[in-house]
């Protein structure tokens, strides 16, 4: 067999061997075997000494072409094998995005926030403005502007956290009422506002008391305000919160900033007034305090109490939530027990 034919045979067999290889290692071995220093092409070229001089360039070109063709066949097959390996790995490692994702627990608004926001929306619907006020308040607005001068015994009921002699953590959101009366332009209409927020008192924490809790105070100032306006407003509120069949009653009480003052009871929503454990068998449940704003409070804001009158009320969102949902320990609202909080998803 001539050298020319031998080289062509090596090219054909090398290309066929490369096409049949299934593994990268086979192809690497084939490269060394065919193209290495001890390979058949190198061995065949040792016969160049027997080739006439005029044919040697042609044989040399053929030999280089054979090497290049075999090299190209091996690299092409390597690329195919690599692609196959990648495809197999992708099949093994593919994530099926059509499967449902791992579920995550979805939270909700805290039941106290839900309660406060529900009451806020009720009063906004009646044309009230929402004024949260300041948690760090002046003694002047927290007490004196509410007809509770220094050394007044009523301050003992609201023992509080003082920061300085004149700054304190507010004991009631009523402190905002003085600021709003000062700023309001009565030539443009009545003042109707509520002030929700956190208040602080030096109470011992137990099932019904906390050193930090929420209040929502309300105030309406206009001409000819009466107890009838107050009762109608609070009756509508209690029916909104506790149910449409609720009735309310007023009992005489005392607050320094209202005169007359009343405690407000709502007919028991559990027994309908027949008497049960929740209402202590009276048929009524105490829910808030209210009254007609004391003339002194109006006068301290420069409001003529002979022309204008007002009513004010204050309620505890915790108490409303406890009564409405049967919670018997105020501390449950603050311990962040997910089992407790999950009971109130979307109740309002």
Q: Where are the alpha helices (DSSP H) in 163-226?
A: 175-183
Residue 6 burial (10 A CB sphere; 0-12, 13-18, 19+): middle
Phi, psi of 315 (to 5 degrees): -130, 160
Query: Helix 317-325 to helix 111-125 angle, to the nearest 10 degrees?
Result: 110
Cα(323)–Cα(304) distance, integer angstroms: 39
| φ and ψ at residue 80, rounded to 5 degrees | -65, -45
Query: Across the strands, what pairs with 286?
Result: 265
> In angstroms, rounded to a whole number, what is the distance separating the alpha carbons of residues 157 and 155?
5
259: annotated binding-site residue?
Answer: yes
Query: How far apart are alpha carbons 335 and 325 in whole angstroms?
Result: 17
**Angstrom distance (rounded) from CA 290 to CA 217:** 9
Contact yes or no for 250/264 (Cβ under 8 A): yes
Asked whether 321 and 333 are in contact (CB, 8 A), the reply is: yes
Cα angle 150, 155, 159; round to 5 = 120
**What is the C-alpha separation between 291 and 314, in angstroms, rounded?**
10
Torsion of CA 29, 36, 75, 58, to 10 degrees: -140
User: Are 325 and 340 contacting, i.e. CB atoms less than 8 angstroms apart?
Assistant: no
- Helical H runs in the chain? 3-20, 24-35, 40-45, 56-93, 111-125, 139-142, 175-183, 227-242, 295-299, 317-325, 338-341
Phi, psi (degrees; rounded to nearest 5) at 252: -60, 140
Binding-site sequence positions for Mg(2+): 259
Binding-site sequence positions: 259
């Amino acid at each position: 067999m001539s050298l020319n034919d031998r080289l062509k045979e090596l090219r054909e067999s090398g290309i066929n061997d490369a096409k049949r290889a299934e593994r990268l290692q086979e192809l690497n071995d084939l490269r060394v075997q065919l193209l290495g220093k001890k390979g058949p092409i190198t061995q065949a070229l040792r016969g160049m000494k027997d080739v006439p001089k005029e044919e040697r360039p042609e044989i040399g070109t053929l030999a280089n072409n054979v090497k290049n063709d075999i090299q190209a066949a091996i690299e092409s097959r390597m690329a195919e094998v690599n692609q196959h390996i990648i495809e197999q790995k992708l099949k093994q490692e593919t994530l099926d995005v059509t499967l449902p994702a791992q579920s995550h627990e979805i939270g909700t608004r805290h039941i106290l926030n839900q309660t406060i926001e529900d009451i806020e929306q009720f009063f906004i619907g009646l044309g009230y403005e929402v004024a949260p006020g300041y948690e760090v308040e002046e003694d002047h607005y927290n007490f004196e502007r509410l007809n509770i001068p220094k050394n007044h015994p009523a301050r003992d009921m609201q023992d509080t956290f003082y920061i300085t002699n004149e700054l304190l953590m507010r004991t009631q959101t009523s402190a905002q009422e003085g600021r709003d009366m000062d700023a309001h332009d009565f030539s443009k209409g009545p003042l109707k506002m509520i002030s929700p927020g956190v208040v602080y008192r030096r109470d011992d924490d137990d099932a019904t008391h906390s050193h930090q809790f929420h209040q929502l105070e309300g105030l309406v100032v206009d001409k000819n305000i009466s107890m009838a306006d107050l009762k109608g407003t609070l009756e509508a509120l209690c029916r909104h919160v506790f149910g449409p069949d609720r009735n309310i009653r007023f009992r005489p009480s005392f607050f320094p900033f209202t005169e007359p003052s009343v405690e407000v009871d709502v007919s028991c929503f559990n027994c309908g007034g027949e008497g049960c454990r929740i209402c202590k068998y009276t048929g009524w449940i105490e829910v808030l305090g209210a009254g007609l704003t004391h003339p002194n409070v109006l006068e301290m804001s420069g409001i003529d109490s002979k022309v204008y009158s007002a009513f004010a009320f204050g309620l505890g969102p915790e108490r409303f939530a406890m009564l409405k949902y049967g919670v018997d320990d105020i501390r449950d609202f603050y311990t962040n027990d997910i089992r407790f909080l999950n009971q109130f998803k979307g109740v309002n």
